[in-house]
Structure 1
C-alpha cells in the first residue's frame, strides 16, 4: 500500500477534486450571468461515509447508465449539479437567476476550502515522511 492510499489523504484529495468541480460550475454561472433564462447551478455538498471514509453518494437512486438514456424526472443533467432554488424576486425579467454577489462569495469560500485541504495534505505528507525517517 502506498503512503498516498491512506484514508485521510484520499479524503483530502477527494475534497480538493470536489472543490475544483464546484469552481467550474460557479464559473459557468458567472459566465452566463447575462444569458436569458439561465438558471444557476451548484454542486451538492460533499459528504464522507463515517465508516469507510469514502465520499457518500448524494445522487438519487436512479442514474443514467448510457448517453442515450433519458434523465429521471427531477434529476439534473450534470452529475452532482442541482439547480439552485432561486427566490422569485432574484430572477431578472430575462429569466436569469444568477446573483453575481452570491457567486463571488461562493468562489471565495471554494478558494479558502481548497487551500485548507491542500495545506493539510502537504503537512500530512511531511509528517509521514518524518515518521518514517525521510526528511
Structure 2
C-alpha cells in the first residue's frame, strides 16, 4: 500500500539512477587506459523522471506510447567529454572523480528523502 506513494517511488528512482551512474563512472575509470574508449554517462534524474500520477495522458489502447507511466534511463556516450588522449581515450580521471562525489551526494539525497518521508508516515500513524 505505501510503496505506491509518489514520494517513495521518486526516492527509489533517484537511488536507482545514482546506482546506474555510479556503475558507468566505475566503468570509465576501469577503462581509463583503454585506447579508443569513450567516456559514458547517464542523463540527469530531472531529465529522465516522469511521474505517472501528475495528469497522465489517457491510454485507450496498450500500444500507446508511454502508457505504462514509467521512465527509462540508459548509459550513453558522455556529451561533456571533450578531452581525448593521443590514443583516442576520452576518460579524464579528475572529471570522473568529481562525478563520483556528485553521485554520492545524489544517493545520499535519495536516502534522506526516503527516511524523512518514512518518519512523517510513522508519525502520522502514531508509531513514531
Question: Smaller-chain TM-score range?
Answer: 0.7 to 0.9
- Is 1:109 aligned to 2:102, yes or no? yes
Equivalent-residue separation in structure 1 for 2:3 and 2:51 (angstroms)? 19
8 Å CA contact 2:84, 2:91 repeated in 1 = yes
Structure 2 spans left out of the alignment, 5+ residues: 55-68
TM-score if structure 1 supplies the norm length?
A: 0.74
Partner SS, residue 96 of structure 1: coil
Partner of 1:40: 39
Residues paired across the two proteins, number: 111
8 Å CA contact 1:4, 1:10 repeated in 2 = yes
Structure 1 spans left out of the alignment, 5+ residues: 58-78
TM-score if structure 2 supplies the norm length?
A: 0.78
Deviation at 1:108, TM superposition (A): 0.2
How is 1:1-135 mapped onto 2 (pairs within 5 angstroms)?
A: 2-46=1-45, 47-49=48-50, 52=53, 56-57=71-72, 80-85=74-79, 86-87=81-82, 90-135=83-128
Equivalent-residue separation in structure 2 for 1:13 and 1:51 (angstroms)? 14
Partner of 2:65: none
Partner SS, residue 19 of structure 2: helix
CA RMSD of superposed structures (Å): 1.8
Equivalent-residue separation in structure 2 for 1:116 and 1:105 (angstroms)? 17
8 Å CA contact 1:26, 1:41 repeated in 2 = yes
